[in-house]
Amino acid sequence: MDTIKTIAEKLKQTSQPNEWTNKLTEDHRAGVLKLIASWQKKLEQEKKIQMIHDEKIRFDESFKQQETDLVAGIDEAGRGPLAGPVVTAAVIFNEYPSELIGINDSKLLSQFKRENYAEIIKKHAIAYYVHIQSVEQIDALNIYQATKSSMMLAVEHLPIQPQVLLVDAMTLPTDIVQHSIIKGDAKSLAIAAASILAKTTRDNLMNEFDKIYPQYHFVKNAGYGTPEHLSALEQFGATKIHRKSFEPIKSMIR
């Protein structure tokens, strides 16, 4: 009879139920029953993640008019903060290797997972582009128009042009066939990938700004109007990267 330690090691190397795992359910040792229950739960979670992944691929491909069409997902990060740029990204996949499983709305992933997936996306996308829209453009155009302009520039700078655009809750001024998808980063693999590239890029930028303006704690708040950030604004005033068209900064500089 295998020891509990041996069984634990074997289960780590087992990815599908088999005769041996079925027999484990008849083992009366509490430690074994706990191991097999945990292993079965892990398999169910992996199965669910795989199903969600497959659904996102089917969602993206359902918008193809021709089998050879390329579909680009477009998303942004940073429309709401008081400071820093808005960042947009466009991503095109043509194949879907297993490394892409688990890609989701960037807001639902840990920083570590976002950074890891960002590298995987860059490795497997047949084309991607990240555009950084400046604070000056945000103030000149307004945040909505600045985001739209940035998204268009991200698409235009793709090294391969797509036939279909899936845009997260936005309509772009383009002749390319497009679909505005509400909560697209939860439905589309390409949009979710774009959201990850946009957010990781913006977070890294805000981390660098934190070194220049440490009193605002950008590494913690990413430019959003947290109580700590608002307190720093009252004490130190606005910096070059604060959005002058956003309140309370707009009122502060009158």
pLDDT tops 80 at residue 254: no
pLDDT tens digits for range 88-141: 999 999 999 999 999 999 999 999 999 999 999 999 999 999 999 999 999 999
H helix or E strand, kind and range, residue 178: strand 177-181
For the residues 199-213, what does the mean pLDDT come to? 98
- pLDDT at position 17 is 87
How many CB atoms neighbour CB 111 within 10 A? 11
pLDDT reported for residue 195: 97
Record the tokens describing residue 154, joined without a space: 């991200």
Per-residue pLDDT band for 7 (boundaries 50, 70, 90) equals confident
Q: In sequence order, what are the residues at sequence separation of 6 or more whose Cβ sits closer than 8 angstroms to the Cβ of residue 135?
A: 83, 84, 85, 240, 241, 242, 243, 244
Q: What are the tens digits of pLDDT across the range 16-31?
A: 889 888 988 888 889 9
To the nearest whole percent, how much of the chain has pLDDT over 70? 100
Q: What would the pLDDT profile of 232-243 be if each residue is shown by its tens digit?
A: 999 999 999 999
Q: How far is CA 23 from CA 6, 7, 18, 19, in A?
A: 15, 12, 9, 6
Whole-number pLDDT of residue 23: 86
Strand bridging mode 164-168 / 71-77:
parallel
Distance (Å, rounded) from C-alpha 132 to C-alpha 36? 49
Higher pLDDT, 17 or 161: 161
Banded model confidence at residue 55, pLDDT cuts 50, 70, 90: very high
Q: Regarding beta strands 164-168 and 177-181, do their DSSP bridges make them parallel or antiparallel, or are they unpaired?
A: parallel
